[in-house]
Amino acid sequence: MKQLRDFDLVDKLLAKQLISEGLPEPYCNLTAHDPIWYSKDSPVQPSSLDLHVGEIYIPTEEAKPLEYYCLSAGQTVIITSSEVLNIPSNISAFGYPPDALSQIGILMVNLGHIDPGWQGKIKFVLINVGKQDYPIKKNDLVGTFLFFELDENVVKNYKDRRPGSIFPSPPSVAKPIKALSKDFLDVDKRANSIVKRTVNRFAVINGLIGTLFVAIITVIGYLFNYNSSGKINDIKIEIQSIKKDYEYHKLKNEVDSLKKITTKLDAIKVDKK
């Protein structure tokens, strides 16, 4: 088994053994030795082959093929390749998401291997797990595939194991469209739920704060009244005590004065005798 390099990939493409149709312009009309095959933007890379966006489907009840869609954070789309693959019985492939997609938070969940004998388009499921919206349009890079040539043909390839099936196989998007959610992470639903919970929380907090404030004012008023009443009673008792002392001293002074006057009168009576 060997992995196909760029020259091998070009040779197979020209023989329509890997891709039967859908190669982007101008690669569908090139010769084997055209240097554009080996340019930076070529679908043929040093040891891999790039596939591109064909049709875009949003998981809704009335899903229709689109050529452009802005994938918001948390959303899911189903994409078919623009290329129709035609894999010989002695070749298998493994698919990987392009590094450029992974770096911006675009998750591809269903890439794997392609069996010998597969004919048809490839289906991709993309989920935006990043922070930013991601615009997707027809002919954008969507997958990178490595191709391996086996030492011998398989006993029965993918197509031979499915007699009566239509090939090239039309991309089946009906099942994932029904099974998948447009909002994979339920961002909209969760956002609305968070807003409702926050509003309810503030309402509860405001009610508790109002109740607590009233309770605090009541306690303060009670303590104030209690303390004030106690202090006033103490003052009254002290005033009454002072008043009694004053009256006692005043009465005592008057008695002393009377005693003095009485003593003087007694002395005068003695002198007259």
With vertex at residue 246, the alpha carbon angle to CA 241 and CA 247, rounded to the nearest 5 degrees, is 100
Whether the CB-CB separation of 47 and 74 falls below 8 Å is answered with no
φ and ψ at 120, to 5 degrees? 145, -175
* Longest pairwise C-alpha distance within the chain: 172
**Alpha carbons 43 and 236: distance in angstroms, whole number:** 103
Task: Tell me 194's DSSP state.
Answer: H
Are both 135 and 248 inside the same structural domain?
no
Distances (CA, A) of 190 to 138, 198, 254, 261: 31, 12, 94, 104
Per-position DSSP letters for 52-75, written without gaps between them: EEEEEE-SSTT---BSEEEE-TTB
Place of tokens 């009256």: 247
Whether the CB-CB separation of 147 and 166 falls below 8 Å is answered with no
**Alpha carbons 7 and 190: distance in angstroms, whole number:** 51
Are both 164 and 230 inside the same structural domain?
no
**Alpha carbons 105 and 56: distance in angstroms, whole number:** 18
pTM strictly above 0.85 = no
Q: What CATH code is carried by the domain that includes residue 8?
A: 2.70.40.10
Task: Tell me 55's DSSP state.
Answer: E
Last residue of a domain, one of 185, 211, 245: 185
Whether the CB-CB separation of 107 and 91 falls below 8 Å is answered with no
* Nearest Cα residue to 115 out of 166, 169, 77: 169
Are both 220 and 152 inside the same structural domain?
no
Per the structure, the count of domains in the chain is: 2
Q: What integer pLDDT is reported at residue 190 of this predicted model?
A: 54
Are both 236 and 108 inside the same structural domain?
no
Last residue of a domain, one of 160, 185, 210: 185
Whether the CB-CB separation of 108 and 126 falls below 8 Å is answered with yes
* Nearest Cα residue to 108 out of 76, 81, 131: 76
**Alpha carbons 206 and 153: distance in angstroms, whole number:** 75
Q: Print the domain residue range for 248.
A: 186-273
Q: What integer pLDDT is reported at residue 28 of this predicted model?
A: 85
Residues in the chain: 273
Are both 156 and 248 inside the same structural domain?
no
Alpha helices in the chain (DSSP H): 6-14, 99-103, 174-179, 187-272
Are both 49 and 76 inside the same structural domain?
yes
For residue 154, how many other CB atoms are within 10 A of its CB?
17
Q: Which residues pair with 96 in a beta bridge?
A: 144
CB proximity list for 138: less than 8 A, separation 6 or greater: 52, 53, 54, 55, 56, 67, 68, 82
Are both 195 and 248 inside the same structural domain?
yes
φ and ψ at 252, to 5 degrees? -60, -40
Last residue of a domain, one of 120, 153, 185: 185
Q: pLDDT tens track of the chain, all 273 residues?
A: 999 999 999 999 999 999 999 998 899 889 888 999 999 999 999 999 999 999 999 887 677 889 999 999 999 999 999 999 999 999 999 999 988 888 899 999 877 899 999 999 999 999 999 989 999 999 999 999 999 999 999 999 999 998 877 777 666 666 666 666 676 655 555 556 655 665 566 566 666 666 766 667 676 666 555 555 555 666 667 667 766 666 667 777 777 777 777 776 666 555 555
Q: What integer pLDDT is reported at residue 186 of this predicted model?
A: 58
